[in-house]
A = this chain, B = another copy of it.
Amino acid sequence: MSRFLASIAVTLKPTVNDPEGLTIASALHNLGFAGVAGVRSGKLFEVAIEAASADEAQSLAEDMCTRLLANPVIERYHCEVGEEDPEEG
């Protein structure tokens, strides 16, 4: 068994209203960032997984998304699996 690190990004689907993103965009404009055309907010999970292979870790990570981490009605997710960085502890 090796340890893998799955980086899971969960974002709202493009058609779903994102009040947090709108608020952040407005705050950035108020701070003088005139070039900001839009902001979408999302969640990020870094999951350390013990698995036999990277493929198994990837499949486990996608299973976690559908069963707990993402709401498939309004959100989509993207999982990227890599070797765990030993510096991260």
Contact = CB atoms under 8 A, between A and B. Distances in A.
Number of copies: 2
Interface size class of A (residues with CB under 8 A): 35 or more
A60 B35 contact: yes
A25 B51 CA distance: 16
A68 B40 CA distance: 15
Contacts of A49: 35-37
Given A42-B43, A42-B44, A46-B11, A37 B3 contact: yes
A68 to B, nearest CB: 6
A79 interface: no
B24 A69 contact: yes
Interface string A47-58: 111110000000
Interface of A: 1, 3, 9-11, 14, 21, 24-25, 27-28, 31, 33, 35-51, 60, 63-64, 67-69, 88-89
